[in-house]
Amino acid sequence: MRACVQRVSQASVTVAEEVCGQIGPGLLVLLGVAVGDTAEVASQLAEKIAGLRIFNDAEGKMNLAVGDVAGSILVVSQFTLLGDARKGRRPSYTAAAPPELAEQLYERFVALLRDRGISVATGRFRQHMQVALVNDGPVTLLLDTADWPR
């Protein structure tokens, strides 16, 4: 799985001119599911993101996680995170999981965050979405579970 995690003061996702998910302070997670990803990978990534200490404490140090600040998470599926543009000008998406598997693991990832008591909003899988956000910091992290030790 690959995730672009952004600390935001607000974020929303719109489908067909209808806001289907929005949050105030928290995290926007753009999530790509790769070929070979499993429920265990989804669990590891959810745990990592839920525990990321990227919110400021009383001393202004990034020392708190999203749950510590009563923040929310907006999760938006984005298979294009797995695009490979090393050759030519048209990215290849062969590393992205098939939609059926990707949707299952996307939903699992969302459920795992909710199981941790975090308020989670979502986009709509396989829909054209417009994402609006105010990046706070800016703070943006790229996480790729393929790079993690097994």
Which residues are known catalytic residues?
78-80
Beta bridge partners of 92: 84
Task: Provide the angle, in degrees to the nearest 10, between the axes of the packed helices 39-51 and 99-115.
Answer: 40
Quote the distance between the C-alpha of residue 150 and its chain's center. Answer: 21
Q: Which residues contact 100 (CB under 8 A, 6 or more apart)?
A: none
User: Which DSSP symbol is given to 82?
Assistant: G
User: Which DSSP symbol is given to 33?
Assistant: P
DSSP 105-126: HHHHHHHHHHHTT-EEEE--TT
Q: ω into residue 149 within 30 of 0, thus cis?
A: no
